Chains A and B, each alone.
Chain A
Amino acid sequence: MSDVELQPAARPPAVLIEGLHKSFGKLEVLRGIDLAVDQHEVVCLIGASGSGKSTLLRCVNLLEPIDAGRITLEGVEISRRGVDVNRIRRRIGIVFQSFNLFPHMSVLDNVTLAPRRVQHLPARQADAEASELLTRFGLADKRDEFPDRLSGGQQQRVAIVRALAMHPDLLLLDEITSALDPELVAEVLGVVRELATGGMTMLIATHEMGFARDVASRVCFLDAGRILEQGPPDRIFREPSEARTRQFLDRVIAAGRMS
């Protein structure tokens, strides 16, 4: 994306979230989230189901309107009224738990739809770029298949490629392995590791603690709509300072989700 920065403060954070509140009716899902993700940083959100991880990601991508607070993307506030959401969403990729590929389109068309319709790339160029990405992620031979002919792992990799085709500044991953059979999880996480190595800025909601420990530069534990504690993965997983974090991790270990 960009050159390595000599002065850390030269660029604003990729995304800055301040005092974010979000309710669905009476249910308060996010209760004051403050979070900054720096360029090339990989931040993992962990926490029980219902702690607000997915909602936070959907708010950042402006798929959910927020009730209070501010979201700033590379120094520009995107949570204001009247911003061009379509323009902003091009810069933020999101991959969903349930893949959400377009079932009536081939893999190639899934990937090239946005480049062609949103960025107005000529079809030939969009196809070439998509093919290159598909090849890079081992999907070259699936180019012309339809999603229902692919395994869950392949579908999710296509979904990642679809998001990458827009060259996003920030990638949001919303529990992307939760709907997969266990033996398919590794191939998808492998892709994410590769992206992390390549310097992609990512905000990841995940239940895969082993993966979070490997890939994250920082781990945030969400509890009841707040970030209860955050820090480098080694510290969070080995010596969490909050009792609730410890409880959560104990439960996760008991469930066999962390090696």
Chain B
Amino acid sequence: MAGLLNGPGDSGELIGTRDPTGPRLIHERGESAVRSTLIAVVSTAVFLGVVGWIVVNSPGWPAVQRSFFNGQVFAESWPVIVRAFWINVQLFLIAEVLILALGLVLAVLRSVPGPVFFPVRALATIYVDVFRALPGLLVVYILGFGIPGLGLAGVPVDPFVYAVLALTLIYSAYVSEVYRAGIDSVHPSQEAAARSLGLTRFQALRHVILPQAVRRVVPPLLNDFIGLQKDTVLVSYIGVVEIFRQSQIRSAATFNFTPYLVTAIVFIVVTIPLARLTDVLVARDRRRGAASAR
């Protein structure tokens, strides 16, 4: 909630006191700061109350309530659904580690200079282009059904493996572009300084350029991580019983949509803190940028 109060889109009239640029200049005394917080709380409560009253008293409300907000179905399905979410957590944690590694390798390969390395650059570029072009679900399908369907010896049959693989292939393409933007944002004079001391190109990359580049792209990387978390539901299509598949099962069993609501809540609860963390990091970066600007 704190981040919301500070958000740039929030209107000063409604929330009032926390906006560091606007109202604070006007309400300098602590007394009036307390007052405007109070006004904000009251007006928010009144606003939500009115909206809530309108919704609950609208003609279609009983049907909506039965279908989406069934207390009994909610109570029965949430333990099962939260347990299924553990599969998604494993998926996105394992995939994220692989994505961060593969994305970095791709970004570095794409920036290797010299005509000799043209094929390397070209291959890395094609990889990124292809996997950014393909719909995620298509990759999941092709890998998850196609490869085990070949019936080759030694090929894993566990759909979880293909789920991790598909997500890694898709997201590493995006993440490599993020890294590349970070690498490009480090001024060439940094490499010149490193090389002038006798460091090799690789050493300059490893010790001077990448540490600065990665620090700068943490917020967009977190953004992609949020996207990955949500896209883990795609693998429900190849037989991994994760949160979305489980909520489908519960929904079919109860003839009710409340299990989907549970799933929605789970994703919101997990994703919003990460989004706020991203905001905090961006703000911190901006402050630091301003401090070190010469």
Which residues of B (189-217) have their CB < 8 Å from a CB of A? 189-190, 192-200, 203, 207-208, 211-212, 215
Q: How far is the CB of A180 from chain B (nearest CB, A)?
A: 11
Question: CA–CA, A61 to B207, complex, Å?
Answer: 21
From A89, A94, A104, contact of B211 by CB (8 A): A104
Chain A CB within 10 A, most for which of B193, B208, B212: B193
Q: Are A86 and B198 in contact (CB under 8 A)?
A: yes
Q: Are A117 and B207 in contact (CB under 8 A)?
A: yes
Which residues of A (117-138) have their CB < 8 Å from a CB of B? 117-118
Residues of chain B with a CB closer than 8 A to A103's CB? 212, 292
From A63, A87, A96, A102, contact of B198 by CB (8 A): A87
Q: Are B189 and A114 in contact (CB under 8 A)?
A: no
Q: Are B192 and A114 in contact (CB under 8 A)?
A: no
Q: Are A118 and B198 in contact (CB under 8 A)?
A: yes
Q: Is A98 an interface residue (CB 8 A)?
A: yes
Knowing A117-B207, A148-B292 are in contact, say whether A102-B199 is a contact too (CB < 8 A): no
Which residues of A (81-107) have their CB < 8 Å from a CB of B? 85-87, 89-90, 92-94, 96, 98, 100-104
Q: Are A163 and B189 in contact (CB under 8 A)?
A: no
0 or 1 for each of A157-179: is its CB under 8 Å from B? (1 = yes): 00000110010000000000001
From A98, A163, A179, contact of B197 by CB (8 A): A163
Q: Is A202 an interface residue (CB 8 A)?
A: no
From B195, B200, B207, B215, contact of A63 by CB (8 A): B195
Residues of chain B with a CB closer than 8 A to A104's CB? 211-212, 215
Question: CA–CA, A95 to B232, complex, Å?
Answer: 51
Knowing A100-B193, A148-B291 are in contact, say whether A89-B207 is a contact too (CB < 8 A): no
Q: Which chain A residue lies CB-closest to B198?
A: A90
Q: Are B197 and A100 in contact (CB under 8 A)?
A: no
Q: How far is the CB of A225 from chain B (nearest CB, A)?
A: 21
Residues of chain B with a CB closer than 8 A to A162's CB? 197
Residues of chain B with a CB closer than 8 A to A179's CB? 294
Q: Which chain A residue lies CB-closest to B187?
A: A100
Q: Are A100 and B189 in contact (CB under 8 A)?
A: yes
Residues of chain B with a CB closer than 8 A to A100's CB? 189-190, 192-193
Q: Are B193 and A102 in contact (CB under 8 A)?
A: yes
From B189, B196, B292, contact of A89 by CB (8 A): B196
Q: Are B199 and A86 in contact (CB under 8 A)?
A: yes
Q: How far is the CB of A153 from chain B (nearest CB, A)?
A: 13
Q: Are A114 and B190 in contact (CB under 8 A)?
A: no
Question: CA–CA, A148 to B288, complex, Å?
Answer: 10
Q: Are B197 and A90 in contact (CB under 8 A)?
A: yes
Q: Is A56 an interface residue (CB 8 A)?
A: no
Q: Which chain A residue lies CB-closest to B192?
A: A63
Question: CA–CA, A86 to B199, complex, Å?
Answer: 6
Question: CA–CA, A98 to B190, complex, Å?
Answer: 10
Sample 12 A-B pairs with CB under 8 A, ordered by A number: A63-B196, A89-B196, A89-B198, A90-B197, A102-B190, A104-B215, A113-B197, A113-B207, A114-B198, A148-B292, A152-B294, A166-B197
9 cross-chain pairs, A with B, having the tightest CB-CB distances, nearest first: A90-B198, A114-B197, A100-B193, A148-B292, A118-B198, A89-B198, A94-B196, A100-B189, A104-B211
Residues of A within 8 A of B (CB): 58, 61, 63, 85-87, 89-90, 92-94, 96, 98, 100-104, 113-114, 117-118, 148, 152, 162-163, 166, 179
List 11 extra interface pairs beyond A96-B189, A118-B197, A163-B196, CB under 8 A.
A58-B192, A86-B198, A86-B199, A89-B198, A96-B193, A100-B189, A103-B292, A104-B212, A113-B208, A114-B199, A148-B291
